[in-house]
Amino acid sequence: MPRRAAWGIIGGLTPIPERTMQRRDFLLATAASAALTAPGMGWARPASRLKVGLIGVGMRGQVHLAELLKREDVEVVALCDIEAYMLDTALAMVAAAGKPRPRVFTGSDHAYEQMLADADLDAVIIATPWEWHAPQAIAAMEAKVAVGCEVVAGITLDDHWRVLRAQQRTGTPYMLLENVCYRRDVLAVLNMVRQGLFGELVHLEGGYEHDLRAVKFNSGEPGKPYGGGVEFGDKGWSEAKWRTPHSVRRNGELYPSHGIGPCAMWADIHRGNRFERLTSYASKARGLHDYVVKQGGADHPNARVGFALGDVVTTQLVCANGETILLTHDTSLPRPYSLGFRVQGTGGLWMDVNKSIYLEGRSPEPHRWEDAQGWLERYDHPLWKRFAAQAEGAGHGGMDFFVVHAFVEALKAGDPMPIDIYDAVAWSAITPLSEQSIREDNRTLAFPDFTEGRWRDRARIFALGADY
């Protein structure tokens, strides 16, 4: 079988034209969105059972598929991928679950368009390479198919505006499937934040500090995604195929949502608050080259590749309500995994890297860290209390259950998406903004207000109860 470029990425990172959005487009789009009255408008809400398709059933799509297959309120009716290996795996999963065989759409980078036209879907989950998220989400929303989109929302800043305008124009639900918002400690801390244990929040930190070197490089052999070689791009497989080229060409906070998502929920971003400014710094890039040389030898062709992505990228943000947020992206160096969370207010702080908390007047000793575990258990979020057993075995310590659950339940109820289009584009737009900041000698940039003022009056909806 001839090797094909995964989702056409190798020819260029952005499959949709990079034309700058014109003022006229904005006005038209704004006029269109102003005509909308409710988030779900234009999309026909299903009664109690969703017909769902998946665009992308690679390593990540399969995790979502596994969750969907467990549910009685979901029918997986269509799968789309360009890779036979992944489709075979996914179909075997469906068969093993005793569910009807879904229709398969493949054979072209644009097979998803056929699926959206033909498969009579209520919703689609997009788990393709990043550069396809925006065009596929836009196409789905145009087809009135609700979108559950894996992180990220788009590549360029314009992508983010286009995804937003498509959602506003069509009224089709769009949710970013940011799973870390549902991590057990993250939700427990959210619970504590909302109950005032940290006092007034002043500073937050998060990030993505994960040694991805064995994800970014492999042998290219199907079925062996992690390590075992220093190939990437055309010669790599799975994420090494499509993700690593981003490290070659781009320098920025390439994966912001796992860090910023929880911070945004803690700080009520777009619910009375918003990001105001941002500055990013990137260290020199050494880790990936070093890895290639160590694993593949100095003579390996990839030892001549220049990687643009700085090993450690830090991004400072400040919010309308005065909180500062710090993000760290660190995926090219040897290191233990950490999302580096810190939640700090006038009452104390929690940090996850040392699994510790300090709450003034509540922690046993002044000026001394306390193990956070007791607090996290005492303030376990109602969602985890209710669904912990169901979440067990789901991806990423159970949080993948919750994100799919929330998407499905909110759609069934006709409720607004718990991680909505504004969250999606603002969190994800940190990437192109950080790239610009770094490119322009760490210039500080005003953060676009994607909500166009709506952030002031929108009420909090995320994880309010025990339903989803």
Distance CA 302, CA 283 (A): 21
Q: Is 9 helix (H, G, I), strand (E, B) or coil?
A: helix
Q: How many residues bind a second copy (CB under 8 A)?
A: 53
Q: What is the DSSP string of 387-421?
A: HHHHHTTSTGGGHHHHHHHHHHHHHHHTPPPSS-H
Distance CA 328, CA 313 (A): 6
Min dist CB 359 to a second copy, Å, is 8
Amino acid at site 453: G
Q: Is 122 helix (H, G, I), strand (E, B) or coil?
A: coil
Task: Report the number of secondary-structure helices (H) and strands (E) in the chain.
Answer: 16, 15
Range 193-204 burial, b when 16+ CB lie within 10 A, else e: bbeebbeebbbb
Query: Residue 85: how many CB atoms within 10 A of its CB?
Result: 14
Q: For residue 441, state whether it binds a second copy (rule: CB under 8 A).
A: yes
Q: For residue 97, state whether it binds a second copy (rule: CB under 8 A).
A: no
Min dist CB 353 to a second copy, Å, is 5
Q: For residue 20, state whether it binds a second copy (rule: CB under 8 A).
A: no
Min dist CB 286 to a second copy, Å, is 5
Q: For residue 245, state whether it binds a second copy (rule: CB under 8 A).
A: no
Site for a second copy in 299-328 (CB under 8 A): 310-312, 314, 316-318, 321-324, 326
Min dist CB 198 to a second copy, Å, is 10
Site for a second copy in 210-239 (CB under 8 A): 211
Q: CB of 139 within 8 A of CB of 112?
A: yes
Site for a second copy in 367-426 (CB under 8 A): 367-369
Query: Residue 326: how many CB atoms within 10 A of its CB?
Result: 17
**Binding characters for a second copy, 246-285, by CB under 8 A (x = yes):** -------------------------------x-x-xxxx-
Q: Are strands 324-330 and 123-126 parallel, antiparallel or unpaired?
A: unpaired
Q: For residue 358, state whether it binds a second copy (rule: CB under 8 A).
A: yes
Min dist CB 385 to a second copy, Å, is 29
Which of 49, 70, 203, 386 binds a second copy (CB under 8 A)? It is 203
Our CB check for a second copy shows the closer of 82 and 325 to be 325
Q: For residue 344, state whether it binds a second copy (rule: CB under 8 A).
A: yes
Q: For residue 444, state whether it binds a second copy (rule: CB under 8 A).
A: yes
Min dist CB 158 to a second copy, Å, is 24
Q: Which of 185, 176, 109 is nearest to 137 (CA)?
A: 176
Q: Which range binds a second copy by CB under 8 A, 179-187, 194-202, 405-413, 417-425?
A: 194-202
Our CB check for a second copy shows the closer of 193 and 411 to be 193
Query: Any idea of the CA torsion for 393, 397, 400, 406, to the nearest 10 degrees?
Result: 100
Residue 319 β-bridge partners = 275
Q: CB of 332 within 8 A of CB of 307?
A: yes
Which of 290, 415, 449, 452 binds a second copy (CB under 8 A)? It is 290
Beta-carbon contacts of 41 under 8 Å, excluding residues fewer than 6 positions away, are: 171
Binding site residues, a second copy, CB under 8 A: 199-200, 202-203, 211, 277, 279, 281-284, 286-287, 290, 310-312, 314, 316-318, 321-324, 326, 330, 333-337, 344-349, 351, 353-356, 358-360, 367-369, 441-444
